[in-house]
Structure 1
Amino acid sequence: MSSVSIRKVQKDYGAVPIIRGVDVEIDDGEFVILVGPSGCGKSTLLRMIAGLEDISGGEIRIGERVVNDLEPKERDIAMVFQSYALYPHMTVEQNMAFSLKMGGAKKSEIDPKVARAAKILSLEPLLGRLPKELSGGQRQRVAMGRAIVRDPKVFLFDEPLSNLDAKLRVQMRTEIKALHQRLGTTIVYVTHDQVEAMTMADKIVVLHDGVVEQVGAPLDLYDRPANLFVAGFIGSPAMNLLKGKVEREGFVVDGSGGLTLPFRNAPAAAPGLPAVYGIRPEHFVLDDAGFPITVEVVEPTGSETQVMAQIGGQAICAVFRERITAGPGEIIHIAAESEHAHLFDAATEQRIN
């Protein structure tokens, strides 16, 4: 196990900056997920940690060593790719043993390590099979097993679940999290799926256009997003973001005819300030004394019901535990829970309450 320190790291392709002075500290044994939309630089950052990409500036440390100029094989890391990258002509056992064999390890050393990894990942019945005889989830477990046998200081995962179907992704999330708890190894994991990030990580790093927007525990990011980007990116369904102005009596929604929504911890000298009101879908409640909305779409999911509507021409989504029988065009009354409201400055997009 080892810590990873990323300090003022930059990556340019010609005159185009991809990573813009990123600082991230990853503790020994921590499960850290780099998350963000496509093109934000998360995979590039992971490849720089692995040594597969040169850095244009800054410093990367694994443990006490600066690894900027070290070859990948000298960094004591293991990487699991999206594509599995298994050798098709080798059995599961041979795939898992290959890196150790190439490193000059003896069979008496290799066999116990392969057996241990196979037991951890429930691959023992599959050791004699070829990759073509495995399911997608089994192939991914083999790829993880190949990394485990090396006993690296750091595991790097580059969107390992994106090729799997939805049900298998849920299962593999659980398996990877359980693997981390069992091994206690430092993991840096890249995904564009914020649900994956929320359910698996000890710490999330949100990247956008090569810049770190916020770093924190999953629920810290969910409950206290630092800016509009994080507010809109973390959470599914996404946070409702309504334009308007902060006034003494509450937040007045643009185009709503004066609809005022409650909030707490108003910033000083804020009245009249153009702002954005953030409220998560589950923080609307049905309330006969609340404000009316006209239902556009109702999406029952079984345990919850999602209702799409508009406030002042701005789309909103509300999620209720109750069954909603209203159809399109019908009116229901809802209220916003003021203790869960977020305010963001419309100009700077930073949190202000």
Structure 2
Amino acid sequence: MASMNIENVGKAYGSLAVIHGVSVDIPDGEFVVLVGPSGCGKSTLLRMVAGLEPISSGDIRINGKVVNDLPPKDRDIAMVFQSYALYPHKTVADNMGFALKMRGDDKATIEGRVRKAAEILDLVPYLARYPRQLSGGQRQRVAMGRAIVRDPKVFLFDEPLSNLDAKLRVQMRAEIKELQRRLATTMIYVTHDQVEAMTMADRIVVLRDGRVEQIGSPLELYDWPANTFVAGFIGSPSMNLIKGHIRAGATPSFETDDGIMLPMTRAPSGSDGQPAYYGIRPEHFTLGGTVEAKISVIESTGSETQVFARLGQQKIIGVFRDRVEGATDQTITMTPNPALVHLFDGASGLRLG
């Protein structure tokens, strides 16, 4: 087990900088998820932690020791890739124990560690099978077992569930989180799926264009996004961000670019007339009221109904537990909860208040 400190780390390929001074402190035993859109630098950062990419600037410390120049094999880190990367001609047991064999561990030690990892991952009945005889989820567990047998200080996961179907991804999310709690080991997990990040992480690091946008617990990011990027990225469906101006009077309100008035409980001091974004989560609408929108599409999942609509010329989404019926271009009334409104500066996108 280990703590990790990523200190002002940068990465450049010649004159092209792709990681810009990223700093993250990870205590021993924490599950940290790096999340962001494709191309944000999350996998590059993970590869630098693993020693698979050289660092252009800054330091990476494991238990206080700088490991910038240590080769991957000396960092005591295990990595699980998006591709299972299993040897097709080796059994499950041989795949899991191969790294121990290569470093010269004796047969009894290898068998003991493989057996222990197989028990943790419910793989004991499959130890004599070959990868072709396993399902996708079982192969992913073998890849995880190959990492567990090494008893590393830190586990790294690079989008390990991307190749699985939706149902299996949900199952494997729970299994990986349970594994982390059982092993009490530091884990860094990379994904572009914010649902994975929200359900698995102790803390989330949101990246964009090689920079950290916000670090916090899942609910901190959900309830208090630092800017419009985090507000729009965290949450499914994402937060509605409606452009307009703040009207700070005796009864504060928000006027959209189309002249529609939306309720607020308060306005930041000196913000009257300020261009801003009115942020409201889809589930924080209620049906009925005075705010009119035009239905675009209604999607029912059974347990809830998502209403895609137009508020003036701006698109919004409302999520309701009620069954909602309506046709395209039909008017629907919904009311945002004014106590749950987020305000962001119209120019910088930063949170107001």
TM over 0.5: yes
TM-score by length of 1: 0.98
Structure 1, residues 305-351: CA drift from partner, whole Å, max 9, x if none? 00011112000000000001222222221101011111000111100
CA distance in 2, matches of 1:23, 1:91: 41
Tell me, yes or no, if structure 1 residue 284 matches structure 2 residue 256: no
Aligned to 2:77: 77
Name the counterpart of 1:240. 240
Q: How does 1:22-33 map to 2 (within 5 A)?
A: 22-33=22-33
Contact 1:245 1:274 in 2 (8 A): yes
Pairing 1:117-196 to 2, within 5 Å after superposition: 117-196=117-196
Q: Which residue of 1 aligns with 2:301?
A: 301
* Of 212-221 and 126-135, the range deviating more from structure 2: 126-135
1:259 aligns with 260
- After superposition, the C-alpha distances for 1:46-91 in whole angstroms (9 at most, x for unaligned) are 0000000000000000112100000000000000000011111110
Letter in 2 for 1:167: K
Q: Structure 2: which amino acid aligns with 1:144? A: M
User: What's 2:201 paired with?
Assistant: 201
Asked if residue 329 in structure 1 is aligned to residue 340 in structure 2, the reply is no
d(CA) in 2 for partners of 1:264 and 1:75?
Answer: 52
Aligned pairs, number: 350
Distance 2:197 2:271 in 1: 34
Please state whether the residue corresponding to 1:54 is helix, strand or coil: coil
Deviation per CA, 1:210-250: give whole Å up to 9, x if none: 00000000010011000010011111111111100011131
1:296 aligned counterpart, secondary structure: strand
Residue 10 of structure 1 aligns with which residue?
A: 10
Q: Alpha-carbon deviations, 1:179-214, whole Å to 9, x = none?
A: 011111100000000000000000000000000000
Query: Partner residue of 2:38?
Result: 38
Aligned to 2:220, the other structure's residue is in SS state helix
Percent identity over paired residues? 63
Question: 2:94 corresponds to which residue?
Answer: 94
1:284 partner letter: F
Flag structure 1 segments of 5+ consecutive residues without an equivalent. Answer: none
Contact map agreement 2:292 2:311 (CA 8 A) in 1: no
Which residue does the alignment assign to 1:270? 271
How big is the shift at 1:265?
Answer: 4.1
TM-score, structure 2 normalization: 0.98
Residue 58 of structure 2: aligned partner: 58
Tell me the alpha carbon deviations over residues 96-154 of structure 1, each in whole angstroms, 9 at most, x when there is no partner: 11111111111111111111100000000100011111111111000000000000000
Write the distance in 1 (CA, Å) between the matches of 2:10 and 2:266.
Answer: 37
Aligned counterparts of 1:166 and 1:181: Cα–Cα separation in 2: 23
Counterparts of 1:82 and 1:47, CA distance in 2: 13
Q: Distance in 2 between matches of 1:297 and 1:83?
A: 37
Give the AA of the match of 1:161.
Answer: L
8 Å CA contact 1:263–1:342 kept in 2: the answer is no
Uncovered stretches (5+) of structure 2, i.e. residues with no partner: none
Distance, in Å, in 1 between the alignment partners of 2:260 and 2:188 is: 45
What SS does the aligned partner of 1:245 have? strand
Q: Are residue 250 (structure 1) and residue 248 (structure 2) matched?
A: no
Which shows bigger deviation, 19-28 or 106-115? 106-115
Instruction: Read off the aligned partner of 1:253 and give its amino acid letter.
Output: T
Once residues 113 and 265 of structure 1 are traced to their aligned partners in structure 2, the CA distance between those partners, rounded to angstroms, is: 59
Does 1:349 pair with 2:326? no
The answer on whether the counterparts of 1:8 and 1:57 sit within 8 Å (CA) in structure 2 is yes
| Alignment check: 8 A CA contact 1:34 1:190 kept | yes
Offset of residue 260 of structure 1: 1.4
Question: Does structure 2 conserve the Cα–Cα contact (< 8 Å) formed by 1:6 and 1:22?
Answer: yes
